[in-house]
Amino acid sequence: MPQTVAFLGRAEGDCALIRRILTREKIEARELTSLTELAGLVGKELQAVVVTEAALAGPGGEALQEALAAQPAWSDLPFVVLGEPAGESPSAEALARLDGLHSAILLSRPLRPEVFARALRAALKARQRQHEARARMAELQLRDRQLFESEASFQAIANSVDQMIWSTRPDGFHDYYNSRWYEYTGVPEGSTDGEAWNGMFHPEDQERAWGVWRHSLESGDPYEIEYRLRHRTGQYRWVLGRAHPVRDAGGKILRWYGTCTDIHDMKVAEEQRRLMLAEMNHRVKNTLAMVHSIVSQTLRQAESVAEARDSIQSRITMMSQAHDRLINSAWLDARLREVVETALAPHQDEAPRIALEGPDMAIGARQALALTMALHELATNAAKYGALSAPGGRVEIAWQAPEEGPFRLTWREAGGPEVAAPRRRGFGSRMIEQALAGYFGGEVRLEYPKSGLFFEMSAPPEGLTG
């Protein structure tokens, strides 16, 4: 900082004196001629002013006063004032202006040069301090603004990101949640501070969560847990909570920062997938059990390998076609008439001799499969030994589902050769007489009157689906 000192005297003697001392002290200075000129220089790199009491009384006093008042807050231009020669008292004017100088030191006459020099140097040092203070303040203001902007920036990020964000002290005391947390949970701000977060968890998850959190606090291991969080709607939803510690240079944990992500829909979908896979697995196992059953029982009963082969193939093909039908309806259910038609498909040629009568209705997948197999057996037997084995025979298939009372399905043969109950019970008879009733939760009757085979199944309405 250029040490610009200005001085102003009235009497030439004063000016010469000041000039001499300044030169000797090697202080650069500028001689002014009026207070007005001085006023113009205030605020322009002037570091100190030397002025005589007499000069203070001159014209331009108001201008100087204004200039001094207009200084910025940090600035207080120091004055060294040379008093009136001994014996002479200052004018009222001079005294008034002296008071208005704020920072002024008054030196008495006769002026001792070293006193004057010291006073001036002190003034200059004081001025330098003012400059330093100003620089420091500017720095603080800058830091202040940067902090404000940084905070605003953080808030913008933390509150716009579509995640719940939270943070805790090293001891686990939760003291920050972003706005998403409060939006999601609907609780008042601050109400989940400290340890109150645990109460937002599903009662069954609270203890487990405490355990995991405590472990993380003690070990510093990242925190991760799936749990149910209470949504503002009152519903508990699955959420993934994760947190990491932030450490100082020495490795000590300063804070924990964490997020909560809503994974509810994903979890529900996952559960549904799991259920579906279990269901599929069950169905496959049942299908294989059915094949196992068909094969072992057919082999047990067959007279020859060729007969066994034909029988097995026929039954498995039928089962396969029934499956195809079911896949088309996504394994949900099947139309009863279609089921009957599928079972009778191998006997297309005999179609005119087979009558179907009954309302359009749905039955469950398992029931459809069982009925297909049973009807297949009835049809095969009819073709081998019964009404379809000779011309003139007929089959009547009818079903009813009255408003009240059980469902009934009948298979009546007529006009064919006499048939009797088989001596040995093979897959067919077991399927018809035992298994079928099991699938429908009902009862089956199989009779062999002279007129022709008669089959009847009755089942409660709830046994048809599900």
Smaller CB separation from another protein, 81 or 369: 369
Give, as one character, the DSSP assignment of residue 434. Answer: I
Q: How far is residue 409's CA from residue 343's CA, in Å, rounded to a whole number?
A: 15
Smaller CB separation from another protein, 288 or 327: 288
Which residue is associated with the tokens 């509150």? 159
Min dist. Cβ of residue 460 to another protein (A): 14
Greatest CA separation for the chain: 163
The residues binding another protein (CB under 8 A) are 282, 285-286, 288-290, 292-293, 296-297, 300, 370, 430-431, 434-439
Candidates 412, 418, 411, 410; CA nearest to 389 is: 418
Say if CB 221 and CB 230 are below 8 A apart.
no
Smaller CB separation from another protein, 165 or 294: 294
Smaller CB separation from another protein, 267 or 430: 430
Q: How far is residue 358's CA from residue 277's CA, in Å, rounded to a whole number?
A: 35
Q: How far is residue 64's CA from residue 146's CA, in Å, rounded to a whole number?
A: 38
Min dist. Cβ of residue 278 to another protein (A): 9
Q: Tokens representing 293?
A: 């059953």
Q: How far is residue 56's CA from residue 59's CA, in Å, rounded to a whole number?
A: 8
Min dist. Cβ of residue 463 to another protein (A): 12
Smaller CB separation from another protein, 292 or 445: 292
State whether residue 208 is helix, strand or coil: helix
State whether residue 52 is helix, strand or coil: strand
Q: Tokens representing 8?
A: 């102003």
Q: How far is residue 339's CA from residue 370's CA, in Å, rounded to a whole number?
A: 10
Min dist. Cβ of residue 285 to another protein (A): 5
Q: What are phi and psi of 48, to 5 degrees?
A: -160, 155
Smaller CB separation from another protein, 254 or 289: 289
In degrees to the nearest 10, what's the CA dihedral of 349, 354, 359, 360?
Answer: -20
Candidates 463, 334, 335, 444; CA nearest to 406 is: 463
Min dist. Cβ of residue 337 to another protein (A): 23
Give, as one character, the DSSP assignment of residue 341. Answer: H
Smaller CB separation from another protein, 370 or 378: 370
Beta bridge mates, 230: 236
Min dist. Cβ of residue 366 to another protein (A): 8
Min dist. Cβ of residue 289 to another protein (A): 5
Min dist. Cβ of residue 430 to another protein (A): 5
What is the C-alpha R_g of the chain?
A: 54
Min dist. Cβ of residue 407 to another protein (A): 17
Smaller CB separation from another protein, 197 or 439: 439
Q: How far is residue 41's CA from residue 38's CA, in Å, rounded to a whole number?
A: 5
Sign of the CA dihedral running 113, 118, 123, 124: positive
Smaller CB separation from another protein, 297 or 342: 297
